[in-house]
Structure 1
Amino acid sequence: MKTILIPIFHGHIARNILRTGVLPELAKQANIMLVVPDFKKELYIKEFRSEQVSIASAPTIKFSKLERFFRSFYYYFVDTETVKIVQQEQFILGNRKFRYLWSRMWTNIFGHTKVLRQVIRWFDGLLVKDIIFTQIFNRYKPDLVFIPSLTSDDEGLVLRQAKARHIPTIGMFRSWDTVTVNKGNLRVFPDKIIVHTELLQGDVMKYTDCPKDKIEVVGMSHFDYYLTDKRIPREVFFKQIGGNLDKRTIYFMPIGLSDIDEDKYMLGLLEGWVRSDPDFVNTQLVLSTHPNATKPIDYAAPETLMIKFPGVINFPGGKPTDREIIKGDMEMMASAIYHSDVVVNYQGTTSIDVSAFDKPVVNIAFDAHEGKLYLKSVRRFYDFTHYQPIIHSGGVRLAHSADELKKEILEYLKHPERDKKGRERLVREQTFKYDGKASERTAHTILSLLK
């Protein structure tokens, strides 16, 4: 069998590729070499190693001054409303107005001048070389390299090494917001690119200068198990979390930022209604922590049902993006959505998850304190470019005040079928084909480059 080398440097990539049907499908026709951070090697060996799957430690990565110099240009390659808001957060809030004007000037120049982007990429490709992964390639001699997060600086070095050796390459963008938020732009082009949706395909074409014929739309592999796996039975689920299976259930997903004032306030509102408002009789509240939260939730009322994710693995000294979410916790969240009547959250990917189960979604679009600066307010999230199709789908309701939040929740509890067509449109646009076969399509596209 031929060998496919896959670097895995982000916890969500492990969820999207390794804990879905993608890895098993690839292993049917090729040997797989996973290159992972050394501190995760034992975890991956225990969970994924098999006759066809091997795991190797990545070398220590240290970027050269030249690499960092060229990287700095790419932050100006995308000019979206999201990028503008993020630049304002970074510089205006820090009283660095000149730095903001400087960044806007270069964003306006590079973001709208393709030839300049091409010149930077040409010099970047000519001058920046990888020597860090030389031994990995010499030892394992891959026939194909799959880059699951094309904007990752670490994985970019692997891609450079593969291109220098003329090894076929294929890559994908980790998330639906990667391009328009500009989490680092595409510096080196693989032979083929995989994307989740046609919306993301359009973003890649518009903002990375990639031609359409190099892009394959495959769907969301990590949504397959919503259709292919069974949920935890209702009686078992509510017994696990100490709930009542006969009560209506509101599932609150906190924002998960380091500033917990917003979550405290919103949770207090919901708890107060469930506890004493006659309109919420026979209703219970479920709460879960955000996987990337930096602080525990220790302010919930005793009667609030808490879903804990014990399988979210933290690593000493690691970043939130290093965290691993195991399959059991993926299923716990899926079952929590499945058994809920209404989900209350903020702007984010979970609006897609919830809609995939055809459950009503209310987005919180107001702050705990009136008059909060826009750049510190949750309101700004709803101006992000990638979230506009969600809003326009008609599949979610935005609550701009506590009164609106209460009204929307009660309306959904009475009429859960409301906005069903909007949720169907949302799922269709954000998952491409919601048929449980995205993993199969992803693997097939990757394997098509094996010669």
Structure 2
Amino acid sequence: MKKLGLVIADGVGYRNFVMSDFLKVALKEYDEVIVYSGLIKELYNDFTQDNLTVRELDIFREHKFTWFLRKLKEVAHMRKHLSFFGINTSFNNGKTKKIKSVTSLLNLLAYQITNIFHSEKSILFYEKHQYNSLKQTKEFSNYIEFLSIDSPDYLFFTHQRPYNLSPLLAAAKALKIKTSTFIFSWDNLASKGRMLGTFDSYLVWSNLMKDEMKYFYPTSISNDIKVVGTPQFEPYVLEEYKSDNNYFNEEFNLDNTKKTIYYSCGDVSTSKLDPLYIEVIAKAIENKKIEQVNFIVRTSPAEDNTRFMEIMEKYSNITWNFPDWTLTRTNHTETWSQRVPSKKDIKDLRAILTYADVNINMCSTMSLDFMVFDKPVINSVFGNEQNGLYNDQKYLEYVHYKKVTDSGAVVVAKSENELIESINIALENPLLYSSNRKVILDLEIGATLKGTSERIVKALNELA
């Protein structure tokens, strides 16, 4: 009897592995699938199969000592890889500026200790003691109990980073249950900190990511790293999310005689200049510097419309798309992780990707989404260290995104004139950089979108 333990950490993981075909395929392949969910159980009510069990994970509140050991591990990992711009930025941003609490003091101590001890051996030493400390928690005891009852043959983590999953990983290790994780996003290895722990095997997007995995985690073994693509984009080839042009125009109340440009916002922590870029475009349309087009703006699922209120009142030529992501509970330590999209939201996003003509964003993953549909992408980055604006040009130096800009798959606009000119060129000649887009997609997404879920299940069977 084959049993799969499936760990869904958050709303994005739910979107990628439940709202794609993955869970459906897994339920057909395995005699039983046990979902260990960081979200409320009720979200799985649409799945009525007898071989599905859902267990809601505890809300984990990390003890200070465990946090310190994790911090040692993460800072040591970053210190070891300071030559990578994104990691270097995170390393410097995390430094204690002023001691205001025990946490800030411990953080300072972690930076001082890892100044000397930051080898891979040291990192694994910190991790060993971090995981030993987890054995004293009630979450570890609870997970030991129900993993013993469930007896999954394999535990598949759909995200490698959330620290609140560490007691579950610790329990699996204690029970000698084999574990695997999916590397969640294309920037996670070269631009982020250490993953939550050491797994038996890894599923990655591409051969590029496989090489990164071996570089950043030298104890990983090549045969235990499988290239599977990513379910993040699988809804773009599934029938249930497909719509026609009439749906697109009616849903967003568009003029079907005009082309459509689309601005996708990041969250306020990284994409602070979104309001500026939106206003530049809206004003250019108003002043006829850009041909008369439909203009859609989609905000980040992680925030509400507060920072856009002034622009919403000022410009009537913008169609706003606020993601339909429901906050399922508020008592979680990571509240943002509890937002879950509706099927309609995925359908609406796919409609935008299918029928909009140009995308503008600030160096986000949405660039890849639009390239999947072979649409022109413009990255607006006006800010630098000299001009007083938030320095978003720094994101051009992140290793994962530098590959995109260097490939010529996107156009980078560093000023108002460049942005307006780039939009006009893209509207006039949408296939100008089509071949470059294909090259970067092949590099970053190492497999076809169709069959992604089946490919992941096959890889899990091979690794089990």
Residue 197 (structure 1) aligns with: 206
Cα distance, 1:197–1:161 mapped onto 2, change above 3 Å: same
Aligned mates of 1:181, 1:387 — CA distance in 2: 10
Q: CA deviation at 1:200?
A: 1.8
Alignment of 1:252-401 (within 5 A): 252-257=263-268, 262-277=273-288, 279-296=289-306, 297-298=308-309, 299-300=311-312, 301-313=315-327, 315-318=329-332, 319-367=335-383, 371-372=387-388, 376-401=390-415
1:35 aligns with 2:36: yes
Check the 8 A contact 2:71/2:107 in 1, yes or no: no
Q: Gaps (5+ residues) in structure 1?
A: none
Deviates more, 1:160-169 or 1:252-261: 252-261
Amino acid at match of 2:377: V
Q: CA deviation at 1:172?
A: 1.6
Post-superposition CA distance 1:13-33 (Å, at most 9, x none): 111111111111111122111
Aligned mates of 1:152, 1:95 — CA distance in 2: 26
Aligned mates of 2:111, 2:67 — CA distance in 1: 20
Cα distance, 1:385–1:345 mapped onto 2, change above 3 Å: same
Check the 8 A contact 1:399/1:408 in 2, yes or no: yes
> Which of 111, 116, 120 matches 1:114?
120
Aligned mates of 2:110, 2:320 — CA distance in 1: 43
Residue 426 (structure 1) aligns with: 440
Q: Gaps (5+ residues) in structure 2?
A: none
Check the 8 A contact 1:171/1:194 in 2, yes or no: yes
Q: CA deviation at 1:260?
A: 8.3
Q: Aligned with 1:286: secondary structure? A: strand
Residue 231 (structure 1) aligns with: 242
Q: Aligned with 1:285: secondary structure? A: strand
Aligned mates of 1:405, 1:152 — CA distance in 2: 37
Q: CA deviation at 1:131?
A: 2.5
Aligned mates of 2:59, 2:295 — CA distance in 1: 45
Q: TM-score, normalised by structure 1?
A: 0.89
Cα distance, 1:158–1:223 mapped onto 2, change above 3 Å: same
Residue 57 (structure 1) aligns with: 56
Aligned mates of 1:117, 1:332 — CA distance in 2: 44
Cα distance, 1:5–1:100 mapped onto 2, change above 3 Å: closer
Deviates more, 1:436-445 or 1:310-319: 310-319
Residue 407 (structure 1) aligns with: 421
Check the 8 A contact 2:33/2:51 in 1, yes or no: yes
Aligned mates of 1:9, 1:327 — CA distance in 2: 19
Cα distance, 1:94–1:69 mapped onto 2, change above 3 Å: closer
Aligned mates of 1:13, 1:396 — CA distance in 2: 27
Aligned mates of 1:103, 1:350 — CA distance in 2: 35
Cα distance, 1:107–1:439 mapped onto 2, change above 3 Å: farther
Aligned mates of 2:342, 2:461 — CA distance in 1: 26
Residue 87 (structure 1) aligns with: 91
Amino acid at match of 1:25: V
Cα distance, 1:313–1:62 mapped onto 2, change above 3 Å: closer
Q: TM-score, normalised by structure 2?
A: 0.87
Residue 171 (structure 1) aligns with: 181
Q: CA deviation at 1:186?
A: 4.7
Q: CA deviation at 1:146?
A: 1.1
Post-superposition CA distance 1:163-196 (Å, at most 9, x none): 2112222222222222233344352x22221111
Aligned mates of 1:294, 1:17 — CA distance in 2: 25
Deviates more, 1:21-30 or 1:52-61: 52-61
Q: Aligned with 2:371: secondary structure? A: helix
Percent same amino acid at aligned positions? Answer: 20
Deviates more, 1:53-62 or 1:333-342: 53-62
Deviates more, 1:142-151 or 1:413-422: 142-151
Check the 8 A contact 2:155/2:178 in 1, yes or no: yes
